[in-house]
Structure 1
Amino acid sequence: MTPVGSATVTSQPTIGVLALQGDSREHVAALEAVGAAAVPVRRERELSRVDGIVIPGGESTTIDKLLRVFELFDPLAQAIAAGLPAFGSCAGMILLAARVHGGIEGQRSLGGLDVTVRRNAFGRQVDSFETDLVVAGIDDSDERPVHAVFIRAPWVEEVGPAVQVLAAVEAGPAAGRIVAVRERGVMATSFHPEITGDLRLHRMFVQIVTDRG
């Protein structure tokens, strides 16, 4: 039996998108647009066939509960710990964080990133905003900033020594707040790259998955 998350990476990696709650369809479309084979993941048997996993935005406490209902929490956490590349956006960042401030009682995270994240740090839905960011590690032949959309977003308050900060807010009351990070094959953003049409972060993740092979 093939261990979860141990699929062999080919020239066209298969990347799963957790499809229990949140904006999974947008991630599937973005991944397909940059050349990956994207598949929804709801069960452990589907997880075993992918080379990487995307955890979308949505509501982190709801996704946590559904992961347990679908008996996927432990297999996914174990796969990430064993080296399965993962990319989380917004709620996905919370779920990949080792430590979460502002969560509800009993809320669990999958781990993968040695960071402390504050849930809903930027405020409520009415406090959603957009800004341009300089993001390290993306295609350096394209000098445009990344237009980032924040919706009830978290931010990163602390990073471990192996964590690379990819982006921070540059202006306004939240200037300096960390909003994109990477630790080896795991990356996360506070914002939603899947809804802007800018494919560079998805292309970066596909490259991370391909390099793993």
Structure 2
Amino acid sequence: MTYYRDLSKYVYSESAIPDMNVGWLSRWRLFAGGAVSSEFMEVLASQVRMPRNQMRGGHPCHFCSALRLGGVAVTARIFEVEYRLGSAEIHAISRNGEVFSAPNLIYHYIDRHGYRPPGEFVQAIIDGGEGKVHKSAIIRLREMVEDAPRMEDRVDAAIDLIQVSPASSVNWLSEIVELPSCHSYFRRRVKVALQLL
């Protein structure tokens, strides 16, 4: 996986949503360590269940297999379901609307390798789980669902809305996925995310 310094500008993909990187680690670079709260891990787990920027391939954990070429594929048991990590991102939206992007491997990095993400990211994950995201960020996401040029950005914006503002977005998104004109990829991904609530 590509290494990006925590809180650097997001450039991993064409996605128009994220602003900053968090958790794009490398075994060749030191990272901050330390404990995180169980509240944070619970909300992070719910994020992992709803991947964004889903890729076809997957990245292994190179920390688990420093002596083996190619690394080790990673799974995590979350809410009694096994999830494969390393092929998608999660987003955390701060109170002021900044969007952090992390590989979904971040769950494993924290749980198994003691990685401690920056405080801004930790707080954004917790705030998102509590619905404390600024209204302007929610408006921006709704606009992206309707107008983003890339279908992937529309899907990711919808999933971000489900995470940070379920009360105001679930009915609206449920209506969109039932429209005959709804794109099949959008319908499939958003329906799965809605079922996880």
What's the TM-score bracket when you normalise by the shorter of the two chains? Answer: under 0.3
Q: TM-score, normalised by structure 1?
A: 0.26
Q: Which has the higher helix share?
A: 2
After TM superposition, the score normalised by the length of structure 2 is 0.27
